[in-house]
Structure 1
Amino acid sequence: MTGQQTHYFYALELPGETKEILEGTIHNLQSKLPFKTWVHPQDLHITLAFLGNAPEAKIQAANEVIELALNKTTAFKMEIDHLGIFGRKDSPRIFWGGLKKSKELNEIRDTVFSACMTAGFALETRPFSPHITIARKWVGEEVFTSDLLEAMNPFKKELTFHAERVVLYKTHLGKSPKYEPITLFPLAMQE
């Protein structure tokens, strides 16, 4: 496919076993909710900074700052506990799993975001809304209603995992899974 640019983004990686649990969750939701595309379990992540099409030198500069900044950051616990949507309330563009508020996640996001700014990236300035995209584009005959979020919530007993690394991903459009991990930034293990 010509003309398609490669995009890069930094994200908090979900551990393999969490992706496996979410694969079952997604499979379950898929049979009940008509969204056009469902995210491949390997592609599940929490975006920290979207770079778009980026020159190698800028990525290298951001990587160096991030590596330095994260080497004292320890792994931390995260909880997925609700569902949410972005876009029109009756026909959402993005369907996602939401996370319990986390000071550690916000700090890591700020670190990654400011490293990217320092490296010269112009980033989206919308407020950080941590989420794990599960599906895209509502295609249901009926309108989507917000009570579905509560009724279908598979995280009533929250799903807990340890955030252990930040990853720079490269996007391969038209492939599945479509995100390739390029650089890994492991967080320090707790004592």
Structure 2
Amino acid sequence: MIAHPPQPSTVRVFVALAPPDDAKDELADALQPAYEKYAHLRWNRIQDWHITLAFLGELPVAAVPLLQPALARLAADRLSLGLGLNGGGHFDERLLWSGITGDLDALHVLADEVRTTVRDCGVTFQERLLRPHLTLARGRRGQQADILSAAASLAGFTGRTWQAERLHLVGSNIGRGPGVIRYRDIESWRFAAGS
């Protein structure tokens, strides 16, 4: 008999948008000097870059199927958003981010609709103020100056405008052991045609 590892009973979940690959590559090129100078920071993998609309935290695995049809309907009824990546900043001198530009009013409306949809599915989560950003790296104690310097190095960055074409339900392995945080799409849904 083959023993299989037990399946987790919970999953860490959030709802997000993701920039297209060429927009991420554009930012990664701008970050190249910071990657080299601050290699000791905990850099997020480019394929994991996302803009969180609602962080749901640890949910029972059984809650995920309740969310999927409702989020699919929401995406099908909404137009895609024109967004861009712009500049850099930090939260508490510990987290490096790139800013978001474009149709921010529609982004906030979409985030509100996502959160309402999740609550209507019976899923409770801690409400957090939406501060649109794309997380790039985290620093440990004593690395605050490096985070500040890396953020300053992005001050002149302005990426091209792109369409956020899909709504993503994402799971992560946070709290599942040491190492890099990994994200995976549980499912994603295409928005209606462009705005």
TM-score band by shorter chain is: 0.7 to 0.9
Alpha-carbon offset, residue 147 of structure 1 = 7.3
Q: Deviations over 1:95-147 (max 9, x none)?
A: 10011261121121111111111122222223110110000015656735857
Q: Which residue matches 1:136?
A: 138
Alpha-carbon offset, residue 171 of structure 1 = 1.1
* Percentage of pairs with the same residue: 24
Q: Which residue matches 2:190?
A: 186
Q: Which residue matches 1:16?
A: 21
Q: Secondary structure at the match of 1:168?
A: strand
Q: Secondary structure at the match of 1:19?
A: helix
Contact residue 10 and residue 47 of structure 1 kept, 8 A: yes
CA gap 1:35/1:11 in 2 versus in 1, 3 angstroms:
farther
Give the RMSD, CA atoms, in angstroms.
3.0
CA gap 1:142/1:21 in 2 versus in 1, 3 angstroms:
closer
Q: Which moved more, 1:162-171 or 1:113-122?
A: 113-122
Q: Find the aligned partners of 2:109 and 2:144 in 1 and give their Cα distance.
A: 40
Alpha-carbon offset, residue 170 of structure 1 = 1.5
TM-score by length of 2: 0.80
Structure 2 stretches of 5 or more lacking a match? none
Q: Structure 2 residue aligned with 1:117, among 99, 119, 142? A: 119
Q: Deviations over 1:37-82 (max 9, x none)?
A: 0000000000111222222442222222222222121112102112
Letter in 1 for 2:122: G
Q: Secondary structure at the match of 2:41?
A: strand
Equivalent residues, number: 186
CA gap 1:122/1:142 in 2 versus in 1, 3 angstroms:
closer
Q: Deviations over 1:7-29 (max 9, x none)?
A: 11111122122222233233332
Contact residue 35 and residue 139 of structure 1 kept, 8 A: no
Q: Find the aligned partners of 1:123 and 1:139 in 2 and give their Cα distance.
A: 29
Letter in 2 for 1:143: A
CA gap 1:6/1:25 in 2 versus in 1, 3 angstroms:
farther
TM-score by length of 1: 0.81
